[in-house]
Amino acid sequence: MDFESLRTCRVDQVGSLLRPQKLIESFLARGQDEIRESTLSERQDAAIGAVIAEQERRGLPILSDGEFRRLSWQTSFWEVEGWELWSGSWAATLANPSLRGEHETANTKADNAVVSYGVAATGKLRLIESLPLQEWSFAAGCTNRPVKAMIMGPDRVAQMCHIEDSAPHYLDRQEFLDDVVSVHHQIVSGLVDAGCPYVQLDEPSYTGYVDPESLEHMRTRGQDPLSNLNAAIAASNGAIAGHKGRSVFGVHICRGNRASMWHREGHYDEIAEAVFGQLEFDRLLLEYDTERAGGFEPLRFVPKGRVVVLGLVSTKTAQVELAYEIVARIEEASRFIDIDQLAVSPQCGFASGISGNDLTSDEQWAKLELLHEVSDRVWGA
């Protein structure tokens, strides 16, 4: 698939897929030191090869490795000196593999993951190894179709950092964010130089700027949300700077997806002009499966030349949507943006952590196959 065909592709996916049960068990066995890292890696290789083949069989035009090497979607920023999420994430997963607290239930608002999983910097940030490059290189070797690479975005890292506890390494948020961007740019550069055709930043951080609880959390820490938002946009753009046109770049924005829950609420309206108008990405993958996202009016701020991938199919529920309902929503969106600037996908991945969301593998594949039917009805085969 050439650059322009990939940039405008009508069917997309966010990236994570439900792990096979045996792979989940292997992760837990590794966490308890019952198997070696090499054994887990071999099982990951086999599972990734199988899920790539299944995506091909289902006719998906853009593939992923399912994030099958990751304990959670945040793993992309783990092999970084000065940033220690690994031990805490393993401890949380081993204690509760579902990653759902006793007080939490599916399809409800969960605890704020930024607060729950936040840590302080333990030193100056330095990239040790690019896990996204390892992931992409193996997956790309399993297929001739384009494989995307997924990376946790820089502002999400900054939101999770307890900057007040990060001295003497970092004294203010911007100093930390600048180094995060530097690490991200190294990761992106490595992927682009290796020939990765599609790089996606996962930035649920942006909905923090419309979520009342998140806004209050920023203010109580002495931060100005508007200043943070402007810095976030600059950080996303900085991560891909100098590579425009060499790969397709996408940014995914959602409201949280852990264990079929969400942790943020609020419509795009308040941030759309700045975020949609200033992000220098080819594709904007936007959660739009429920009323939590609001209406499509904010899409009027998307510049010509950008593609909006409407996340209209839920990954949080087992019920498979009806094609005509998804088509109707795309037609509604086209009142505010040219229909040739639109595409369709699930609203998020199917498994932010190893245990995944509350649906079966068959239901997951049915939702992904639905995208083809929708695309054919809207844009033609």
CA 51, CA 217: separation in Å to the nearest integer? Answer: 39
Segments in 161-211 forming alpha helices (H):
173-194
Q: Is the distance from CB of 284 to CB of 251 less than 8 angstroms? A: yes
- Mean pLDDT over each residue of the chain, to the nearest integer: 93
- Pick the more confident residue, 60 or 106: 60
Inter-axis angle of helices 173-194 and 131-140, nearest 10:
20
Nearest Cα neighbor of 3 from 200, 245, 304, 190 is: 245
Match 């820089």 to its residue by tokens: 154
Q: Is the distance from CB of 267 to CB of 298 less than 8 angstroms? A: yes
Inter-axis angle of helices 86-95 and 21-31, nearest 10:
120
Residue pLDDT, tens place only, 44-100? 999 999 999 999 999 999 999 999 999 988 888 989 999 987 777 777 788 777 667
pLDDT at site 192: 99
Residue pLDDT, tens place only, 327-358? 999 999 999 999 999 999 999 999 988 888 88
CA 184, CA 158: separation in Å to the nearest integer? Answer: 12
Mean pLDDT within 24-50: 96
Residue pLDDT, tens place only, 126-141? 999 999 999 999 999 9
pLDDT at site 102: 67
Nearest Cα neighbor of 204 from 143, 280, 261, 129 is: 261
Torsion of CA 19, 20, 23, 25, to 10 degrees: 100
Tell whether the model's pLDDT for residue 165 goes beyond 70: yes
pLDDT at site 256: 72
CA 64, CA 202: separation in Å to the nearest integer? Answer: 14
> Which helix (DSSP H) or strand (DSSP E) does residue 270 occupy?
helix 269-278
pLDDT at site 93: 80
* 3-class secondary-structure state, position 86: helix
Q: Hey, which of 95-109, 158-172, 248-262 has the most confident mean pLDDT?
A: 158-172
Mean pLDDT within 33-42: 96
- Choose the CATH number for 3-18+61-379 among 3.40.50.10470, 3.30.360.10, 3.20.20.210, 3.40.50.2300: 3.20.20.210
* 3-class secondary-structure state, position 369: helix
Mean pLDDT within 146-170: 96
End-to-end CA distance of the chain: 16
pLDDT at site 262: 60
Q: Is the distance from CB of 291 to CB of 325 less than 8 angstroms? A: no
Least confident of 156-165, 174-183, 289-298: 289-298
Domain boundaries, the chain: 3-18+61-379
Nearest Cα neighbor of 157 from 198, 98, 192, 201 is: 201
Confidence of residue 43 (pLDDT cuts 50, 70, 90): very high
Q: Provide the CA 64 distance to its chain's centre, in angstroms.
A: 12
DSSP state string for 306-367: -EEEEEEE-SS-SPPPPHHHHHHHHHHHTTTS-GGGEEEEESS-S-SBTT--SS-HHHHHHH
pLDDT at site 381: 66
pTM value is 0.95
pLDDT at site 196: 99
Tell whether the model's pLDDT for residue 172 goes beyond 60: yes
pLDDT at site 259: 56
Confidence of residue 104 (pLDDT cuts 50, 70, 90): low
Tell whether the model's pLDDT for residue 272 goes beyond 60: yes
Mean pLDDT within 149-159: 96
